[in-house]
Structures are given as structure tokens and as C-alpha cells.
Amino acid sequence: MVYNSQMKSYPDLLKEWRNCRRLSQLELAIKANVSARHISFLETGRSKPSLDMIVHLAEVMDIPVNARNQMMNAVGFAPRYAATPLDDEAMAPILEAVSWTLDRHAPYPGIALDRLWRIVKMNDPAAKLFAALQLKEGNSLLDLVTNPIMAEVVENWPQVAHYTMLRLRAESASAGGVPELEAAAEHLMRHSKGYSEFLPRPSVPTIYKLGDQQLTLFGTIAQFSTVTDETLEDLKIELFFPADTNSIEVLKSLTV
């Protein structure tokens, strides 16, 4: 997978990302406004790319910043993009924005996730909701969605598993291949058999079974724009909303 290819050469990385984006050499050349011959020479190693050309082709193919760093390393350039820890002072405004968003989303649940679906932060309603599943900050949702308990606590699990599998595959493909996401998607593909295409709703919610009650939620995902940092590129905010009036009351009861 491209995502874990730190030891590969630039020609190999360029070819893999071009194939990942399903572009021919000619199509990439046209999009990048360079000659197809130059793309060919870069992929065979006959030409060495400049730093500007590495960045240009990466931007054209929408390659993640961590993979751009790998390409720069492969050619001998210093990495241009940082991977700043979330507890670094420079990340303070980012974490403040995440906290502001999650706190104001209450009484509805909200969480922040990293690339491997680890929970970076959650608001109080999310903490109370996920406590029943023994889930807290630092845990990964990948462990949860591949746990057999999901078939017991989610009424429409085959549907939810199917669409979660599609999301995992899309995120992995966008990143050039992430083994952890691919493994979880493969697991969910086996457990979403029996899923029906009949969709009476505009989106597929998750219907939790809470004793004799139901909690029906749908979600939205937000990411940061104009990103030049690996850590920030992977950070996602996921907000959950009630899909019916009964679920509104159930969520309000969590805050009491």
C-alpha cells in the first residue's frame, strides 16, 4: 500500500499514486500541464523531479501531505509538511475549535477522530452514550465496529455495517491505502450480508437498542480546510443528530 511505502523510490511512488487515482500518464500530464514524456521519464527514473514538481504533481492528484513527505524523502529533499502533536502549543487554536464545536453540539453526541478512527475528543453526551460500550477517549471506533456486540446493540446493523464499510474503503483509497481501514472494511463486508437496498429514509441512521428504548442517530463529518500538517489532515469531527422526536428525548435524558 502507498501509505506505508517509506522505503520506495520516487518513480515507484509516483506510479502507484497515478494508478491509485486511475490516471494514465497522458491524463496526468494533461491535468498537470506537463509533457507525457516527462511523466514517463519521472516514472522510469530517467529524470529527477524538482521539489516544485513533486508538490505540483501531488496537488494535481490530491495526494495526502504525509505521502508528499515520503516522495520528498525518496528524492533526497527535506520534508515540507509537519506532523504536529495535538498537545503542541501550535495546535491550541485547533483544539479550541474542536472543543467549541463539540460542546455547543450538546445535548447531542459529538466526537473528534484521527485517521485510524481513534477518539481524540468527545463531548459529555457522547461519553455517556458510548460508556455502555466501554468506549472512551483514546479508543478506536475500528475496534467497536468490528466487535460482535454491534449486531446486538444496533437494530439495523447489516445496513450500518454496509455503509460503514463503504466509508472505510473511501477513506483508505483517498489516503492511498490504509491497512487498518482495509481490514475493518473486509470484516464489515462479511457481516453486512443480508443487507437490503430498501431505504425508506434519505440517509441510513444507526438505530441503537437501549433496553426497551430506541435511539436513532444520523451523522455529519467535518474536516479542516487549507491543511499543511499531517496531524490536522487526518482530524475529523463527527456530529450525531436525532432522527426522530423520541431520540431527542432520549438524548436530553443523557444530560440530566
Q: Burial of 211 by CB count in 10 Å (0-12 exposed, 13-18 middle, 19+ buried)?
A: exposed
How does pLDDT run across 68-110, given as a tens digit for each residue? Answer: 999 999 999 999 999 999 999 999 999 999 999 999 999 999 9
Query: What CATH number does residue 96 fall under?
Result: 3.30.450.180
Long-range Cβ contacts of 144-148 (<8 Å, 24+ apart): 145/184, 145/188, 146/184, 146/187, 146/188
Residues 130 and 240 in one domain: yes
Residues 60 and 93 in one domain: no
Residues 177 and 243 in one domain: yes
Looking at the predicted structure, is the pLDDT value of residue 7 above 90? Answer: no
Residues 166 and 137 in one domain: yes
Output the average pLDDT for the chain: 91
Confidence (pLDDT) at 134: 86
Q: Burial of 49 by CB count in 10 Å (0-12 exposed, 13-18 middle, 19+ buried)?
A: buried
Residues 71 and 108 in one domain: no
**Residue ending a domain, choose from 11, 41, 75:** 75
Mean pLDDT of 129-148: 91
> From edge to edge, which strands make up the β-sheet containing 119-122?
119-122, 110-113, 236-242, 213-223, 206-210
In this structure, how many other beta carbons lie within 10 angstroms of the beta carbon of residue 72? 20
- 82 found inside a domain: no
d(CA 99, CA 137) in angstroms, rounded, equals 13
Grid cell at residue 10:
520516487
Confidence (pLDDT) at 62: 93
In this structure, how many other beta carbons lie within 10 angstroms of the beta carbon of residue 43? 19
- 83 found inside a domain: no
- 210 found inside a domain: yes
Contact assessment for residue 80 and residue 70, using Cβ atoms and an 8 Å cutoff:
no
Bond into 242 cis (ω within 30): no
* 254 pLDDT tier (thresholds 50, 70, 90): confident
How does pLDDT run across 30-63, given as a tens digit for each residue? Answer: 999 999 999 999 999 999 999 999 999 999 999 9
Residues 201 and 161 in one domain: yes
Residue range of the domain that includes 118: 89-254
Q: pTM for this one?
A: 0.86
How does pLDDT run across 174-224, given as a tens digit for each residue? Answer: 898 899 999 999 999 887 765 666 566 678 899 999 888 899 999 999 999
Residues 140 and 242 in one domain: yes
If one counts the domains in the chain, the total is 2
Q: What backbone torsions phi and psi does residue 239 show, to the nearest 5 degrees?
A: -110, 135
Confidence (pLDDT) at 100: 97
Residues 169 and 208 in one domain: yes
Residues 62 and 124 in one domain: no
